[in-house]
Structure 1
């Protein structure tokens, strides 16, 4: 049995990022509370519609992907500007598509999982201040009825969005700039459903996108270069329809707008994801253009990276460097997404005729030249995200682990990742290796026999990335290498003397 945890975590924000993190911590036996300023669940509050393949894999490991997939539409390709499409059907894994489903469905599934695992979710709780010391964090909270309280935790995670109170209280800057202004949103009904599940187009100075909620309502995003208004100026249905007709050739009979708004899109990233006992994740740490549908996915992947590391620390076995690796791994990913989504947005907004001709050629290349298409699909889907590997490491180190078959129940790797442990995938049965994983690092590592022919032994992290791998076949040398990898990643073995608290500090 793993040691009893020695602390708890406060999560600020009950969006997809905070809810996934809460579920992971609670499933690992860590006490956690989510504080959400919204007084209740708001079912039609949706900013995102796309759940990409890598995010679906992470949800699959948590046992909720199939439920979420049932709520939406699967797209095996993403329509680029014009007639060309980016083919996602060749992506590896169980999810060779992008799932189109409103954000509130993602939140519903993640909320149910978090509550079932034992997390506490408090709505109508607005964080107003934060203080930390060497032992923990104090968070001041104002409730919807006006009452106030102070909660204390071992760690706090700000998943509270672009206007993050946690980020403000940490005194962190949020450098960047607005990249597009006067973007209109409208939730409408349509007389004529578009031929595509997601319809997007641009023509001249107009851009429009239509995505379904799945219940007869549609979200429209529209932008007009000729009319740049302040966020406070109302966005009327007539203006949205006009832009859609110019960009798409039809407004599809838009009517009965239940909600409209106008906003601007920023590119910003906080310089540090960790300050002492406080962490930032999701839009609190990085915000970028909606191009490519990356925002919600990147935040959920932040949570998947951080959750098991916090759990390891609170269970008392984390190596000394582990919590700092959250920033080291996720900051570059956030920067890459920010740059990529910004480039896509600028690509769609080019004005000069020669640039539009160049754009058409680039779109054709992305859709028809297979190596280019594969790289683009891997980047957009998140499948190609990898973390830095130390010099001399195995070629697989830091890469996404494929959902390989394993002998016995449950039959595949990602089902073993569901309880937040590492998985040591071995090429052949070896009692010495099994002893290391199941006895000396008991409660931290599963040991699984690869279901196919391979000579590679791999240690897979709880977030589905390969921590370490080797192709050694000599039993003694392989066991020694595994022992070193387990000590580096999974801390001091359970059966070493209690006074031996040496922690590895260099990569293996």
Structure 2
């Protein structure tokens, strides 16, 4: 079988990318070195924007039904936790869900949609040509080559794809270690338990299946030396020193150490080769954001690859992947470093800084909201194409409640989004509006009005929503002819005639 896209790496990022491509009719093969899913769950937290992304494809319910809902998250392990319940989202919470289950659900989707997943296969190199890429693979029965139009490296911090493409991965080596244990606690603490002091930091997170994750660091972990694998005895010693009890810990399913090495790919695109997830950015896992940012990478890239391959996008569209997602990676690595500084501020001066910052989060709701929106990726906004664009342009569109003039039932925006096309929201309430004559491949129209529009949507008469849920254009002109002209100009940058 021939494929249009090859994805190296069958973790959550690669699997979501493959599923999105298949929703657009693109043939895709996922090459994964593991013969079966890893039962150790590096990622545990599913953030609100990721749940929204799943909801925009109607596949969020298995995640929300299995995950443990938590009302917020932490920033730097501060005593005052971020309150996600204030977020403008239908999912104002995080989900504690082991990565193994996230992968299983995403793999099921990708397979049902027709993706090919080659387990026990390894990408060993690439040969890029003007009209495609030859992907060299080591299969169980020997080497083979697959010819595709594009390759995406979702193959982690040691990415073979990144190395083969010659993309630099600058950054800093690890100077701080953290540790974690997924295990049974006979006497568990309350949900959201955390403890910080001169002797270290400890956090406890409930997991499905009766498990808890204990994660933390102690002063001796501020080191460049690797002390060997974490043992249950060392974990117990650390936890007792920090909490005064081991919470009745037993039956560990995973013990691990991790570091704060921080790197960011210099380019997210090199010709026909792209990077997403950990292949593009490495950082300390503070706040559980890594997998979520990677899934957003995949969501940004998939529809652009599909629109290009399906022929309705302008040739410059693929350039916007690096332009939009690399700044997100910069923000991710900077925020991660800032959280490491707070989590290891064991000195008296450091503890005073933490106390001050913690009090400010509790006293200033706007600060809570800004940090929560940043951690959850709800605050991500892409640069508008023109300086005079409406302020909504580039921002995430919330799940607007819509009246449908062509149906008896109301609906919400997420239910209307599709991976294979833009959505034109005609909010004039006029089904005969000339906007409807601006037909294009990769464009659908919905006519209706917004129930109780958010303040930023006041006066909007039409909006163009990208497949990933970001606003490509918004128009508030009261004159129909001017509105049509503005939209025509916008479509010239997003669609071929």
Task: Specify the TM-score bucket, using the shorter chain as the normaliser.
Answer: over 0.9
Residues 282 and 299 in structure 1, CA contact (< 8 A), matched pair in contact too: yes
In the superposition, relative to structure 1, how do residues 137 and 442 fare at CA in structure 2: closer, same or farther (>3 Å)? closer
- 1:46 corresponds to 2:47: no
**Residue 83 of structure 1: CA displacement?**
4.3
**Residue 419 of structure 1: CA displacement?**
4.0
Structure 1, residues 414-468: CA drift from partner, whole Å, max 9, x if none? 111134321111122243545335xx31443333323337531110111011001
The secondary structure found in structure 1 opposite 2:401 is: coil
- 1:283 corresponds to 2:282: no
The secondary structure found in structure 2 opposite 1:45 is: coil
Alignment of 1:27-176 (within 5 A): 27-42=23-38, 44-78=39-73, 81=77, 83-143=79-139, 145-176=140-171
Residues 27 and 118 in structure 1, CA contact (< 8 A), matched pair in contact too: no
TM-score scaled by length of structure 2 = 0.92
The equivalent residue for 1:495 is none
- 1:463 corresponds to 2:475: no
The equivalent residue for 2:444 is 445
Distance in 2 between the 1:261 and 1:45 partners?
Answer: 9
- 1:423 corresponds to 2:423: yes
Q: Which stretch has the larger CA shift, 323-332 or 467-476?
A: 467-476
The equivalent residue for 2:297 is 302
**Residue in structure 1 matching 2:494, options 476, 489, 494:** 489
Distance in 1 between the 2:169 and 2:296 partners?
Answer: 20
In the superposition, relative to structure 1, how do residues 337 and 182 fare at CA in structure 2: closer, same or farther (>3 Å)? closer
Distance in 2 between the 1:229 and 1:471 partners?
Answer: 56
Distance in 1 between the 2:493 and 2:48 partners?
Answer: 30
The equivalent residue for 1:16 is 12
**Residue 217 of structure 1: CA displacement?**
2.7
Gaps of 5+ in 1: 1-5, 493-508
**Residue 211 of structure 1: CA displacement?**
2.6
RMSD: 2.0
**Residue 103 of structure 1: CA displacement?**
1.2
The equivalent residue for 1:352 is 347
The secondary structure found in structure 2 opposite 1:418 is: coil
Structure 1, residues 264-287: CA drift from partner, whole Å, max 9, x if none? 231100100000000000000001
Distance in 1 between the 2:56 and 2:19 partners?
Answer: 12
Distance in 1 between the 2:410 and 2:279 partners?
Answer: 37
Residues 74 and 81 in structure 2, CA contact (< 8 A), matched pair in contact too: yes
Structure 1, residues 13-43: CA drift from partner, whole Å, max 9, x if none? 111111111111001000011111101123x
The secondary structure found in structure 1 opposite 2:394 is: coil
Q: Which stretch has the larger CA shift, 153-162 or 82-91?
A: 82-91
The secondary structure found in structure 1 opposite 2:19 is: helix
TM-score scaled by length of structure 1 = 0.90
Structure 1, residues 45-97: CA drift from partner, whole Å, max 9, x if none? 21111111111111110111122011111111335646422211111121111
